[in-house]
A and B are shown apart, each in its own frame.
Chain A
Amino acid sequence: MADGNTHSDGAEEEVAGGHTTRREIITKAAAGTLLVVYGGAATKTAAAGVPKYRARELAGTLKIIQWSHFVPAYDKWFDNVYVKRWGQANDTEVTVDHINQADIPARAAAEVAAQSGHDIFFFLTPPAAYEDQVINHAEIVQEVTKKRGKIKPVAFKSTYNQKTKKYFAFSDNYAPDPCNYRTDLWGEVGLKPTSWDNVLKAAPKLRAMGNPIGIGMSNEIDSNVALSAMMMCFGSFIQNKEQRVVLNSKATVNVLKFARELYRQGMSNEIFAWTAASNNQAMLAGRLSMALNAISITRSAELINPDLAAKIELLPIPRGPNGRLGLEHVMGAYVIWKFAKNKPMAQKFLADLEIKYIGAFENSKFYNFPSWPASVPNIARRVERDPVAKPSGKYKILAEIADKYTLNPGWPGNTNAAIDEIFNKFLIPQMFAEVAQGRRTPEEAAKIYDRSFRGIFQKWRNLGKI
């Protein structure tokens, strides 16, 4: 056992090798640490790298973070063409970081906790919970409205808090959510998915052919959107216009009964395990006969399987007892943090992006529909003339879906923090899945989830956000 006395105090004990004392090690380590800490903090540009544009340093910097777009061509255009051009024109070095869509909430929370990060942060759902951390985006909205006229209602209701009168985000785009269906398979059945009744009628035959209907009931974004839209078609809503919970209704019971029948007769239990990419993959693998999704399915098919792409057609959401009420598939919502270092340029960047949205619209291959329709002239003609579409004119319907059948989460009220929480906890898919698998009756589910939603709404109401 080591004896403390063997390490005599004050002795110049040497480390094996005979030349370095403990004191020297500690002194050198301390000096090294000081050098790293203070040296790093003092040099502003030491590790900043080569200036982006030769011959001159740009005056300002602007940092943006956004998702890795479902259409890769959009990111290429945005990063390499638009941002570079805008940066040079505005004497600003713009950096763009991309993250997976599922990581957006965690990244946002981290930036807010650190009160540091990017100047412009992009969300895929209206980020109402972050209202206190962002500037009021009203100025940008006014600037764009001055040049491009009225904002689309879906974008307004997704980003404007009707209680606090604040724009908690700036929406540049939204994606319509069409019904993707296989014309060959539906042709064999002799129906079209124009109504939910038709879908239920065709479902058993389609499943028997090995091609079930694909509407997810899983903890992922597509399930949230598809099931919320189905609810609205049946007249079931989470909240009313005044943001009061109205879930426990006959319409909710009816839509839950309908979805249970649809699952039992025409879907398979794979829908409970899906990720956001699963319905795309299943459609592209030739498995599904129908799915609700943005145009990522057809765009991917055009690239990897043109024959299959020609068999996938688009329609508006099927009609229900309450009509055709669809939801946006994703809502592009930029925020400028209060702690952003370059707020003026961030505001200018967003306004400029929206005012001339043609590039974004074209390069997203019509995935991003402008929140100010006048920012892209002749949308209907552009989508109709898509050069890749098979059969030609396939995307024409998108303009109609965008105009008539695209609403915000939480409609008829505005999107708010409670809706955001309900979506992010995947409580809607959970409610549907429990009923579909026979864990609850539709009546029980409507009652229990109504109570649960009231609790969430009350919490945010107490915080003054609803």
Chain B
Amino acid sequence: MPRRRRRDLLEQRRFLAPALIAPAVVFVGLLVGAPLILSVYLSLTNATAGSLTGGFVGFDNYTSQWSDPNFRTAFRNTIVFTLVANAIVVLGASVLAHFLIREFRGRWLMRFLVLLPWAAPVALSTIGFLWIFDSLFSVVNWTLKELSLVDRFNPPQWLGEPNKALAAITTVHAWRLLPFATVIMIAGLASIPKEVNDAAKVDGATGLKKLWFVTLPLQLPIATIAVLFGIVFTATDMAVVYILTRGGPFNSTQMLPMWAFQTGIQGGSLGEGAAVALFLLPVLAIVTVLMLLFARRVEVT
């Protein structure tokens, strides 16, 4: 190709735009698309960690997992953790955002402190929580013992009793998602034009009335995005459960990503592990589409 023509091609919008977007498309294709296709393939085979390929078994892996009580527990927990943690996050982030948007002394320090959990690597902060909830050296239990609120020899086992362990995991999820949601909510509040607030004031809308009829509707699209990210982050996270309980006590805190890992990688049943991992895909896809549609509908122009 003559040099002049090649040069012209790069200056044309119809070539330049695809050329610029191509690396991103290739990147997503290689890192998301290819593993996804491989997972679908593996989930339909009896592949093991030691074989990589396997014979076609149709939907056997899906049906056998569906009848496994541990899978059902993991499925239920994934939904419960996600909903409860995100409900806490939305509520907490709304309160924090309304507080942090105001002018006050030390606002930047407060914002920095609120953001800190988001900046810390998940694994590191979860190890911190592991120590906080430790069976022997828990600082929570130490405090409760010092206050004579619990039995000194039989303090609560935050990670050893199913309900407490579920609560502990939900707390950690909520704690780590809260900063991100707060920042998004602050951005949402900051983007409300001053004129709208002034108009609301003129119309006599103050306090809760203003919050309900003015602030919340305007904040809803961006809050939806925060919730969407929260759902995806919680439902697909494995680190928190892996570090805190490894699914215990007696697999009562299993989540789908953790059970997929335990079945496919640790247990060696790659096909079944892939099937477990893929159970979440259609659910998350539907949730994402619905939430994006909702965000578009409530968008205020």
Contacts and interface: CB of A to CB of B under 8 A. Distances in A.
A333 interface: no
Contacts of A349: none
Contact of B249 (A273, A278, A424): A273
A6 B268 CA distance: 58
Interface stretch (A68-76, A176-184, A281-289, A382-390): A281-289
A433 B250 contact: yes
Interface string A258-296: 000000000011111111001001100101000000000
A11 to B, nearest CB: 7
A272 B50 contact: no
A15 interface: no
Interface stretch (A81-89, A126-134, A136-144, A366-374): A126-134
A158 interface: no
Interface stretch (A47-55, A240-248, A455-463): A455-463
Interface of A: 4, 7, 9-13, 22-23, 26, 105-106, 108-109, 112-113, 129-133, 207, 210, 217-220, 268-275, 278, 281-282, 285, 287, 417, 420-421, 424-426, 429-430, 433-434, 437, 439, 452, 455, 459, 462-463
Interface stretch (B90-98, B156-164, B282-290): B156-164
B263 A108 contact: no
B7 interface: yes
Nearest to A106: B265
Interface stretch (B76-84, B112-120, B206-214, B240-248): B240-248
**Interface SS of B by simple majority:** loop
Given A210-B153, A272-B161, A278-B136, A218 B49 contact: no
B136 A285 contact: yes
B48 interface: yes
B12 A219 contact: no
A425 B267 contact: yes
The 3 closest A-B pairs by CB, nearest first: A273-B160, A129-B268, A272-B249
Contacts of B158: 273
Contact of B251 (A270, A282, A421, A430): A430
What's the dominant secondary structure at chain A's contact region? helix
B135 A22 contact: no
Contact of A433 (B48, B249, B261, B268): B249
Interface centre among A9, A23, A272, A426 (most CB of B within 10 A): A272
B143 interface: no
Contact of A269 (B20, B157, B263, B267): B157
Contact of A10 (B11, B46, B266, B267): B11
Interface of B: 7-8, 10-13, 16, 19-20, 46, 48-52, 64, 68, 70, 133, 135-137, 153-154, 157-161, 165, 245-251, 261-270
B50 A433 contact: no
Contact of A425 (B10, B133, B165, B262): B262
B15 to A, nearest CB: 9
B153 to A, nearest CB: 5
Contact of B46 (A113, A417, A459): A459
5 contacts: A9-B8, A271-B160, A272-B159, A420-B268, A430-B70
Contacts of B11: 9-13, 22-23
A11 B12 CA distance: 9
A268 B269 CA distance: 34
A210 B50 CA distance: 47
Contacts of A26: 10, 19-20
A199 B8 CA distance: 86
B50 A129 contact: yes
Contacts of B135: 270, 273-274, 278, 282
A264 B246 CA distance: 24
Given A112-B52, A273-B135, A463 B248 contact: no
